[in-house]
Amino acid sequence: MRFSFDLTESNGDDSRRSLTPKEQVEWVPLQNHPVFTSAGGSGATATASTSSRAPKNLLAWDGASRLYYWDSNKQCLHRISIRLGEPEPTSVVAASPSKVLQADVELNFEVNTISINRNGSALLLAGSDQLCVIYLYGRSSTKDNTIICRTVFIGSQIYSSDSSAIRILQASWHPCSDTHFGVLSSDSVFRLFDLSSDVMQPEQEYYLQPVEPGRSRSAASICPVDFSFGGDHLWDRFSVFVLFSDGSVYILCPVVPFGSVYKWESILEMYSDAHTFGSKSANMAAVSNSNMAISWLEATFPELAQEEAHGENPSTIKAHSHALFDASLALQGPLHKVCRSGEDEALAVRGAECEGRAVSFLYNLVSKDSILVTAWSGGQMQIDALADEIQPVWITGSAPRLRVDSHDHIQGVAMICESISDELPIVKLDQPPDHTVWLGHPPPLLRLAIVDLALPRKMESSSLITMFADPLMPERIYALHEGGVDSIVLHFLPFTSQTSGKDDTIKTPSVHPVLSTCQGETSSPSPLVGFVSLSDSFGYSWVVVVTSTKECVVLEMKTWNLLLPIQVDKEKPISLEEQKEKDTPDIISKELLAGPKSVLAPQASPNLRSIAADSIEGRSALHQYFKLFHENYVEYAHKVYFELKHHGPQLKRIIDDQNARLDDAQQKISKVEAKQSMLDERIDRAVDLHNSLEQRLQCLRSLPGAHKKPLSRAEQQFKSELDQFTGVELDALQSSIDTLRARLRRSTQSSKDKLANQRRKMPGRNHGQDAQISQLKSSLAKLSLVNSESSKKVKLLESALKSKESSTNRAISS
């Protein structure tokens, strides 16, 4: 029996690697692994995935040698050890069998996405109404040879499966912490949880209020969709980007997890930037904003003040818990397009340019450029770049709510984040830095491109697009949708191209289809439930995709020369004659076709005609003439004979090929002649059908409905507003009503508990709480009334349109 020492897997409470002999591990191609090739339960998986409209991603990679896959049927996690580039540089192999990880508690919700933290110690399972974290290093179990892992539920008091009012829209690990992750929910609240302190209560809460109460003209402008953390660039690392359903993007800055670790050079660069461009500015608003940022940096990172006193330079520093007592973060935005001098400012603040509603968002840092990508339900992707740096903005006078311990250390913070977009002017591209730096302006957007993925149109549902950045080549973005996977490569980056000295002309991105799940035009696509991008240190990159039928696909992605444009020499065009002359082989050399060289006759004496041929002088002259003739004409004849003899087979092949082509052409001509009569009959039938259609068209034009006037501009605008209302606003209003109901239930329950406690302590009633409850009930009743009236109007419009269509169809048929 063969044994092997497995040093890659470690489980149990012992942190040392196990050296006990184990069974032989078989290395198979990843796409042929038994986890993905097992046929059991594939139908249930497909049914479950197609019934839910939430995007799924049940694959995760720790960045080294472990791939995690969540099995929805068996409610377990598979840990697969993989090797990249073995045995071939372009192959991926996996260890079989895989390790099975089981939660120590029952999970009674459907998992939509999984994600792993930086050090690979914990995995986040996110559903539509619940969250939990599985710690990947558990204890072994003899039952079914599984590993039991400790599992904790996150914010169970906030997100509960009993009531689907508050839905989880997005959950993601923070890039600078191993224990913090952010959650965006449908109640327009962004929460930051810390596993090391408290899993029930969030460490930080930000109540997003993009518009003032009562000033919202559409429900889509207050419904969040997605969020993304910033990258490792100045204040971007402290920023959170939030996308709303109408396509508007807002920024929260600064948002720092308590205890997160950052590089000393990065924090010092931000500190120096605030001193250089803010404190020394001639604008008092810039001085005030920069001083507030400097005081926040010194309080969050005390090492900055100690460095000035002692001159110490640590490599990394930890963020301390801190919050301003008299100010809350401003919700910067919505971000507008950059505007030049002389251009209409309405172009920068106009609405969405894509179809449908915004469905997902991606922040991608490429060298010196911060790229923002917004995906729309109509199948378009809007790609923008930040034209200026992000700066922190606070609103003074709005005090946050703090939670402290017995030593007055901040344990949690909650605040209301309002937008101040009405007070800010439109930033123009050619403004001097003194008019934009540290003035609290949100950074403008530079539009790079709008990519249309040309997805199939569906009347009953909209497209869900999920985006991922390539870890090896950040210029490449993967887009997952119902039709498969596409790759978008950016060829123009504003600041990176300017720094590297490249051509500053804007080049459109290139779109490459990676995988198509549609077997045909009539067949329905197979949904994707897993996607991950792999890469190694040698520059090889792979894409791993799992379908709803548990089929795994591994594709190698090319990275070399992908960003290099195609070089075409436009200065020297090649004519058709030159191309023919270049492609035509030389059958006989040009020297032979030119004929023999002209021979200069030797100088002869005047009395040459009087010399006899049989004399010595005559024989000498004849010999000289014969020699010249032999050197030129006889040798030329021999060359011609040799050339013809040498090229004879080639000429025969050319002649045979020409004859074969001639026979083929004659056969085609005979077929065309045989089909000529049939073609004439089809042409006659087409002409007759065309005449009949013209007659029917003339009859239809005489109908009274054909002379309808086109819609005016106001009517077209009203129709577009109705379409927007039916597509987006009703869902947004329903979500808002459900959220208010959940808040009312929680408020009622908490008020009842408080009232019971007060009755135990002292008699009497709290009329203030009753007044708040009655106000909430009246607001809920008003919203329900507005929703019912809107639904009635939409139904009336639909019935009117259907009646018009039916009357038109009857008129046409008659």
- pLDDT score of 73 more than 80: yes
For residue 737, which amino acid is it?
I
Q: What is the pLDDT of residue 728?
A: 61
So what's the pLDDT on residue 368? Answer: 87
Least confident of 208-212, 756-760, 797-801: 756-760
pLDDT digits (tens, 9 = 90+) for 451-482: 998 887 664 456 789 999 998 889 999 999 88
Spell out the residues 6+ positions from residue 125 whose beta carbon is closer than 8 angstroms to its own: 70, 107, 111, 113, 114, 131, 132, 133, 134
Pairing state between β 66-71 and 122-126? unpaired
Of 565, 440, 547, the residue nearest 497 (C-alpha)? 565
**Distance of alpha carbon 668 from alpha carbon 361, whole angstroms:** 57
Using CA atoms in the order 9, 12, 14, 19, what is the torsion angle rounded to 10 degrees?
A: -40
Instruction: Evaluate if pTM is beyond 0.85.
Output: no
pLDDT band at 322 (very low <50, low <70, confident <90, very high): very high
Q: What whole-number distance in Å separates Cα of residue 555 and Cα of residue 535?
A: 12
Name the residue among 319, 47, 331, 55 with its Cα closest to residue 171: 55
186 to 53, 333, 574: CA distances (angstroms): 15, 19, 62
Q: Where are the alpha helices (DSSP H) in 762-813?
A: 767-813
Please tell me the predicted confidence (pLDDT) of residue 703.
75
pLDDT one-digit tens code per residue, 585-613: 555 666 666 666 665 555 555 565 666 76
Q: Is the pLDDT of residue 583 over 50?
A: no
pLDDT at 592: 64
Look at 361 and 220; give whichever has higher pLDDT: 361
With a cut of 50, say whether residue 581 has pLDDT above it: no
Task: Answer yes or no: is pLDDT of 551 > 80.
Answer: yes
Residue the block writes with tokens 């030797």: 602
Cβ(194)–Cβ(258) below 8 Å = yes
Strand spans (E) along 210-260: 224-229, 240-244, 249-252
Give the mean pLDDT of 721-739: 67
Residue 541: closest CA among 57, 198, 61: 61
Average pLDDT for 194-212: 90
Q: For 85-102, how does the pLDDT look when each residue is reduced to its tens digit (9 = 90+)?
A: 888 888 899 998 889 999
Residue by residue, what is the 3-state secondary structure of 465-519?
Answer: CEEEECCCCCCEEEEEECCEEEEEECCCCHHHHHHHCCCCCCCCCEEEEEEECCC
Least confident of 235-249, 285-299, 309-323: 309-323
Angle (deg, nearest 10), helices 303-310 and 284-300: 90
Mean pLDDT to the nearest integer, 532-543: 89
Query: Any idea what DSSP says for residue 56?
Result: -
Please enumerate in sequence order all residues whose Cβ is within 8 A of that of 632, keeping only pairs 6 or more positions apart, or say none: 596, 597, 599
pLDDT bucket at 6, cuts 50 / 70 / 90: very low
